[in-house]
Amino acid sequence: QVQLVESGGGSVQVGGSLTLSCIASGYTSNLKFMAWFRQAPGKEREGIASIYIDGGGRLYADSVKGRFTITRDDNKNTMGLQMNSLNPGDTAMYYCAAAAEPNRWSLSASAYKYWGQGTQVTVSS
């Protein structure tokens, strides 16, 4: 089993920045890729950024490309999300996710088996 714990959420004004972190514990050696998802009230969960652990390949949703950067520190089993130029449309609960099946790398929620509890990000004008 793998446990994921997010941190770093909070409230920020439009144009501001925030950095999220996700710490993975448990049987992490089997993980193939990790990702950040977000879900706003009344909307579906959206995959916004993913990183392939071996090789460091990255995927980004168009909605965050150029503003968000996904990072990973293998030594600390942590994943980060640097978020810049935030706007009210980025307000959501942000979730960390991880998967151990190598052939399903994508931003689709169905590809991920392990999920954190989420951390709230609120952007106000």
pLDDT, tens only, 20-52: 999 999 999 999 999 999 999 999 999 999 999
Residue with tokens 């959501």, as numbered in its chain: 92
| Percent of the chain residues topping a pLDDT of 70 | 100
Which tokens is 57 given?
């390949």
Residue 115, SS3 per DSSP: strand
- pLDDT, one tens digit per residue, over 90-101 is 999 999 999 998
CB 8 within 8 A of CB 20: yes
